Amino acid sequence: MRPTFKLPRWAVFVLIFGAYLTIRGYHSRDGDQAYRLPILLHQQDSAVFADDPFVRAFDTFNPHRGYLALLDITSRPLGLSVALFGLFAGTFAAVCYGVDRLARSLWPQAGNAAGFLAVGLILLSKAGNVGTNHLFESMLLDRLIGFSLGWVALAFAVEGRTLVPGSLIGAVTLIHPSVGLQLGAMLAGSWCVWRILARWTGISTRTCVTGLIALALAMLPGVMLTLGQGSKLFEGMDPAEYRLLGVQLQMAQHMVPSMWRQTQWLAWACYIGLGLIGVVAMFANDSAVPRDDQTQFRRARFASTFVLLLAGLGVAYLAVEVAQNLQITVLQPFRMATIARGLALMAISGRLAQLVQRSEPLAWVRALVLAAGLAGDRAMIVATLFEFATIACSRWKISIFVPLGILAIGTFDLARHDTESGHVGMLIATVIGFLVLYASRLELRVGWNRRRVTLAAVVCWAVPFAAFAAPIVFGSESRIAAELAARCRFAAVPTDDIERLAVWSRAHTEPNARFITAPGPKTFRLWSERAVAFNRAASPYHAAGLRDWSDRFRAHVGFEGSTESFVNGYLSDRHAFESRFARLNADELATLAKGQGASYVLAAKGIECGGQLKVVASEGRYSIYRLESRSADVAMKAKAAAK
């Protein structure tokens, strides 16, 4: 059964968007947004978060200015919720446009299927996220906007265009400087390599120079903006101490390859292995492409960029792990490992599309098992082993039961050891793959008609539409709205106990109140619009802010000792380290609040208050306590007077 797509391309992507929202959800005002949005709110109203240490640290060094300016421009007339989702939808559209265009230019024989399949694989991809950056995520993020524009820029560059790629990378440099600089370096290197390999890439000296000049001019404003505040990043702190606080303690999961799990590395290597096989298959099909067709040039450009990126990541590994260069480490070069995964999936997509179109044995099973494997690291390893075994089966006439046996053993192992339940996806993919194979043997044909399009639209969009309508129909505080918002949150609907307490705090505490919270919870600051003395994940980047943040961290967990022992203690057992806060009694919490200039404490319910704390609100497992001692007021007034 060969897939046919008679719908307009835009309609297919609208259905894919609805399916993504249904399956993966839309999680606004959570995760990294919980740290970025308070900075935006303070910029829009200086009275909001006027006394928040984290927010005010960005007065000194703020690499998110371009992204926040974009949010500011769109949210003022539309409202924050509409702006966030509108930009998210635009980011999704840019990813679809860039990935689809690039995949179809590389695999013209596969028709539209290669583009649709590449987009689907990228949206499903969660495995192998070395550097902890996903190809696409279910909320608006500055790096996500950067990646989306990067795909469009690369698609045009591979086609030999010069002005559009440079302009887009320049925009990325303004929105997310780190991603923009790295994408710019990749594109600049690609232009040079393409010129060196002009015999195979068809790039002239004039085209190369024009592309480089356009790229440099477009990136100049973003680079100058970043360099203008770059001197403040390390100012006043020894490089060794900055490495301890800013790299190992603050963002080791993003910067340090040795901190990533072995399964993450293996899954990432699976992408690269499959991608290289796809590149080989791409050139093996050159005989089917007319000699004067631009497809051969595009494939050579794509392949050389892929190899160049892998080489760059190898150099970055040496710079970070061997040379331990602090500047390169802070740049987070392994964000480009995410781009490498995307390029690999584009190489895979056309190959799988052609297998399906030729009705190759197990073609649908292979495609669906790979899609299921993208959900987790262990599942990706199993899917790749199955694919390699299937390739060996077809090349060396090995029994088809060998790859099926590997798939069965791998699925059984996932059922025993995989915490992400990858075996469920594998079983579903295998069953559906064989059902499709059986249907193709019966020569069944499936096409679109008005009724089927309507049914598909309802299935894809029912959950997002219900989540959008529920707060309007039932109210934002209703249980139905909260349940649906946990899947797709389009409006400011609290979904957990901490967010509900934060909403209470916004209505019942003074605007200049400061809170003590546990190190872990991320969203209280944003939802309450109140200052928070410390949150572990919400940390500034520059040296002075890092030192203040680490001092507050020590106070919250009651640690005394050197910076090195502090960092090592956290890395050895993060959860036990942070749980010290939960063991503080009422007197210790009151002392901490006084030392941090706070008048409220968010902590577990049921603490014996004594005379210094008083419960003022409770929700689920948490309560808000007010500091009753007058010394708290004295500390607050003294701090205000000092400012």
- pLDDT at position 1: 41
φ/ψ of 58, rounded to 5, equals -80, 0
Helix (H) or strand (E) holding 622: strand 622-627
Which ranges in 442-585 belong to alpha helices (H)?
450-474, 479-485, 497-508, 524-528, 543-557, 563-572, 574-578
Buried b (16+ CB within 10 A) or exposed e, 35-61: bbbbbbbbbeeeebbebbbbbbbbebb
Angstrom distance (rounded) from CA 495 to CA 607: 24
Angstrom distance (rounded) from CA 258 to CA 326: 15
- pLDDT at position 631: 46
Mean pLDDT by runs of 10 across the 643 residues of the chain is: 63 95 94 93 95 93 94 95 96 97 91 91 93 91 96 96 96 95 96 95 95 96 84 86 89 85 94 94 66 80 97 95 92 94 94 79 86 93 93 80 91 90 91 80 67 91 95 90 94 94 95 93 94 92 92 90 90 85 90 94 88 91 86 49 48
Structural contact between residues 350 and 106, judged by C-beta atoms closer than 8 angstroms: yes
Q: Which two tokens stand for residue 174?
A: 């303004």
The β-bridge relationship of strands 514-516 and 600-604 is parallel
Structural contact between residues 172 and 218, judged by C-beta atoms closer than 8 angstroms: no
Q: What is the pTM of this model?
A: 0.92
Structural contact between residues 369 and 426, judged by C-beta atoms closer than 8 angstroms: yes
CA distances from 263 to 122, 267, 573 (A): 19, 6, 20
- pLDDT at position 111: 81
- Tell me how crowded residue 326 is: count the other CB atoms within 10 A of its CB: 17
Q: Which two tokens stand for residue 17?
A: 């968007």
- pLDDT at position 37: 96
- pLDDT at position 443: 59
Angstrom distance (rounded) from CA 355 to CA 366: 9
- pLDDT at position 445: 61
In one-letter notation, the amino acid at residue 157 is A
- pLDDT at position 446: 63
Extents of the domains making up the chain: 9-30+61-123+134-358, 362-458, 497-642
- pLDDT at position 632: 46
Q: How many CA atoms lie within 13 A of 453 on its CB side?
A: 12
